[in-house]
Structure 1
Amino acid sequence: MAVPKLRFKEFDGDWTKSSLINLAKDKSLNNGVFNDQNKVGQGYKLINVLDMYIERDIDESRLSLLDLDLKEFERNKVKFGDIFFTRSSLVKEGIAFSNVYLGHSQDITYDGHLIKLSPDLEVTNPSFLNYALKTSKVRKQLIQGGKTATMTTIGQQEVGKTTIDFPVLDEQNKIASFLSAVDEKISQLNQKHELLSQYKQGMMQKLFSQQFRFKADDGSEFGEWEEKPLNHYLYTSKLKNKDLKFSKQEVLSVSGELGVVNQIELLGRSYAGVSVAPYSVVEHADIVYTKSPLKSNPYGIIKVNKGKAGIVSTLYAVYKCKDNIYPELIDYYFQSDLKLNHFLKPLVKKGAKNDMKVNNDHVLTGIVSFPSSLEEQTKIANFLSAIDQKIEVVAQQIEQAKTWKKGLLQQMFV
């Protein structure tokens, strides 16, 4: 009996199985228009590959523009309820990601890297269909339909023969409405997370430009800030893994997101003695700086390690804090875009391959402006840390909501 594990009580009976092609109004799928980069910036709104990977249905306000002649546009005009699939992906698991257009504009077309299915609206709710396409059962079929060479690609035929199970239209509408409410909750949490992040960035700018200052616990004003080279507060760590005896250790690496240090545990490898290169060892509150900057941040990253001790590769410099600085204050200082650029730009040198780098020892000569009072330093760091805690709580709520939604998709569909 084809029924889901979790179901609204007013519905019963088996669900119907169908191929996607048979759910299409015209029993066909179509590819979109050629995205000529010389014609972008004006014309018709264009749905593209990136619009397939957002949490909600296609957001019309995000769409780019593409100039087309009227005949080509009419052949590729997007209507309410149209479903789109990505045709190619660098990884097999990314093939045939889908999304749905639920608006009513008359000026939207779609990219040639997408496949379009216009569902029969008398048979299926397009929002329900889009949710069904994200279940593991259907995703598995789509992934298996991909053909891998340099990239993984999927054609109209493979998408069309993919099968789904669906109930009567009233039950589809109820499921789609419920899951849309879950998506709305996730969207609200994402907006809250973004607003808190913007607030934090704004407060960092005000605090480190001294537009806003705290007072001492006794109500008095703190003294003037000092401009000093960074070596007034930090010194280079000489601690190497060859100096230690251990069989397993965490390794710190910089991710593609600016300012984030990931901790990756490598199991089954020995770092004892000199069996591997003498990588630097990072302890709690040490400052990590990458000597091989990311494209997104050509001036390097300075980040406080807040976790366990770890090892960093020779691409990193590690600094230790002196007693006159609160470590987290440096972390927040360099999270501020204004301060990061102000501090590091004068230190940037062109490398042998014309790449822009900052020598790790040269970093210590950069000028920073900090409170001389550890009490004021601590107040600033604790204030920003409290905002971070709120941001983290919302981030956890987002992940919990996404996990809940994922479970619903598995239980509310056959």
Structure 2
Amino acid sequence: MGNVPNLRFPEFSEEWKKMKVSELLDFYSTNSLSWEQLDYNNGKIKNLHYGLIHKGVPTMVDVVCDSLPYIKEESMPKSFTLFKEGDVAFADASEDTNDVAKAIEVVNCDNQQIVSGLHTIHGRDNYEQTIIGYKGYAFASDSFHKQIRRIAQGTKVFSISARNFDEVYIGIPSKEEQTKIAKLLIAIDKRIATQNKIIEDLKKLKSAIIEKEYTHKTKSNSHIGDFIEQTSKRNKNRAIQNVLSVSNRQGFIQQSEQFENRSVASDDTSSYKIVKKNNFAFNPARINVGSIARLTTFDRGIVSPMYICFRTKDTLFPEYLDYYFETKQFFTEIQKRLEGSVRQCLSFEGLCNIPLCIPTIEVQQQVGKQLSTLVQEIKLEIDFLELLQRQKKFLLHQMFI
């Protein structure tokens, strides 16, 4: 059959209409106010800047309306068009062709006065071809963005204008089918928002436990160096081929992952340092951004000779030290010990001089187990969030033409 999506609700069978976006929407002038002309605290009229669309304002502007900045009184444009329910704003430029014409639809913002700002295109369906809530998802669909990628202009920054919408089509089913599609995707978006809040709260709980556990144990005559020893065993016979790097977000990862499926390791890895499970390593020039980690995902691997590697002594449980490295106190102590003018580094001696008081090994294990259980729970919630996001992406690909 012709103009129908691959996936739809079983009660619908008729073909969809295809309309040029320029025929569906009327376009209104927007302002070019910069961030300096906006204020998050005071004002009467709020401004939707294209940067907010790119930062991840959802398809539907709902409670997000409350977080938009106001236009400063002295910067107020002489003429402007306020958003109405169901209006759409497109970001007209991006360095990524996938984000050109990224759109949001204004929903549930009846009590808000909002105008469309810098690098946006403001469109309105004055012909009532669509129900409120449908357009935002239609303009997020793969079929729409494939057309945009074809016509986006530029080299480093890609852009479109309202005139380009003469060349772009959108699929429009009956209003009953639009309603069912919108309700389904809105429900998924709300579940994604809830899932993000669950993850955020669990991360806050983890941080609070870490700070409570370690903050009161910073005044001590003992130091990290009392509980660790450096390891510098080399891969002399090149028996180990698992080349690792330390990421500030993911910890130990295979080097090919960090450098986009290409290896930057030397052909001769005989001078590379061997790390074993529960050993630590850090990049002296990147520890200030968190590039320090404990090896947990592999039994062993090798890292560049520039890394500093160490392990804990029997009196210090590796997990206990691992979580200490996430504290604000540790970051503060690092800043005091960085050396160098162009690129500041932390030496092994500097790390060893950081104060650290530890409880009994039994308490360390108890704290480590508690936090590890929480970390595992966070991971499960993140995995579920990814499933929700994949589900939404699949539906945006399959439910539109």
Amino acid at match of 1:343: E
- Compute the displacement of 1:119 (Å): 2.4
Distance in 1 (CA, whole Å) between partners of 2:29 and 2:198 is: 38
Aligned length: 389
In the TM superposition, what is the alpha-carbon distance from 1:270 to its structure 2 partner? Answer: 9.9
- Asked if the contact 1:40–1:65 (Cα under 8 Å) also holds between the matched residues in 2, the reply is yes
Compared with structure 1, are the counterparts of its residues 135 and 389 closer, same or farther at alpha carbon in structure 2 (3 Å cutoff)? same
Classify 1:156/1:239 alpha carbon distance in 2 versus 1 (closer, same or farther; 3 Å). Answer: farther
5 Å-filtered alignment, 1:24-103, equals 24=25, 26=26, 28=27, 30-35=29-34, 37-41=36-40, 42-43=42-43, 44-52=45-53, 53-58=56-61, 59-67=64-72, 72=77, 74-102=79-107, 103=109
1:139 maps to which of 142, 145, 148: 145
Shifted more, 357-366 versus 197-206: the winner is: 357-366
Is the 1:249–1:311 Cα contact (8 Å) retained in structure 2? yes
- C-alpha distance in structure 1 between counterparts of 2:263 and 2:291, whole Å: 27
Residues of 2 paired with 1:192 and 1:310: CA distance? Answer: 35
Distance 1:366 1:144, change over 3 A: same
Structure 1 residue 356, shift from structure 2 partner = 4.5
Unaligned runs of 5+ in 2: none
Query: Is the 8 Å Cα contact of residues 30 and 117 (structure 1) preserved in structure 2?
Result: no
- Any idea what the Cα deviations from partners look like across 1:182-225, whole Å, max 9, x if unmatched? 111111111111111111111112222459xxxxxxxxxxxx99
Structure 2 equivalent of residue 219 of structure 1: none
Question: Partner of 2:169 in structure 1?
Answer: 163
Equivalent in the alignment of 2:14? 13
Tell whether the 8 Å contact from 1:280 to 1:313 is kept in structure 2 after alignment. Answer: yes
Of residues 341, 347, 350, the one that matches 1:359 is 347
Matched, 1:302 2:303: no
Q: CA RMSD in A?
A: 2.9
Alpha-carbon contact 2:171-2:400 (below 8 Å) kept: yes
Q: Distance in 1 between matches of 2:264 and 2:163?
A: 51
1:237 corresponds to which of 205, 220, 231: 231
Gaps of 5+ in 1: 212-223
Determine if the alignment matches structure 1 residue 184 to structure 2 residue 172. Answer: no
User: Within 5 Å, which residues of 2 pair with 1:217-236?
Assistant: 227-236=221-230
2:251 is aligned with 1:265: no
Cα 1:394–1:269 change in 2 (3 A) is: closer
**272, 277, 282: which is aligned to 2:275?**
282
Q: Which residue of 1 aligns with 2:356?
A: 368
Determine if contact 1:29/1:160 at 8 Å carries over to the other structure.
no
Q: Deviations over 1:215-236 (max 9, x none)?
A: xxxxxxxxx9965221112122
Q: Distance in 2 between matches of 1:262 and 1:84?
A: 39
Aligned AA (2:99) = G
2:220, 2:355 within 8 Å by CA — same for their partners in 1?
A: no
Following superposition, the deviation at residue 57 of structure 1 comes to 1.9
Q: After alignment, is 9-18 or 394-403 more displaced? A: 9-18
Equivalent residue of 2:89, what SS?
strand
Q: Measured at CA, do residues 148 and 310 of structure 1 come closer, stay the same or move farther in structure 2, by a change above 3 Å? A: farther
Amino acid at match of 1:65: Y
**Could you tell me which residue of structure 2 aligns to residue 344 of structure 1?**
334
2:310 partner amino acid: Y
TM-score, normalised via structure 1 length: 0.84
Distance 1:265 1:39, change over 3 A: closer
1:322 and 2:310 are equivalent in the alignment: no
1:352 partner SS:
coil
User: Out of 326, 337, 343, which is 1:335 matched to?
Assistant: 326
Judged with a 3 Å threshold, the aligned counterparts in structure 2 of structure 1 residues 162 and 375 are, in CA distance, closer, same or farther, namely same
Alpha carbons of structure 1 residues 268 and 180: separation in structure 2 relative to 1, 3 Å? closer
Check the 8 A contact 2:284/2:308 in 1, yes or no: yes
Q: Which residue of 2 aligns with 1:387?
A: 374
| Alignment check: 8 A CA contact 2:282 2:292 kept | yes
After alignment, is 105-114 or 138-147 more displaced?
105-114
Inter-partner Cα distance in structure 1 for 2:306 and 2:29: 48
Contact 2:219–2:357 (8 Å) recurs in 1:
yes
Partner AA of 2:294 in structure 1: V
> SS at the partner of 1:92?
coil
Give the conservation status (yes or no) of the 8 Å contact 1:326–1:374: yes
Identity %: 21
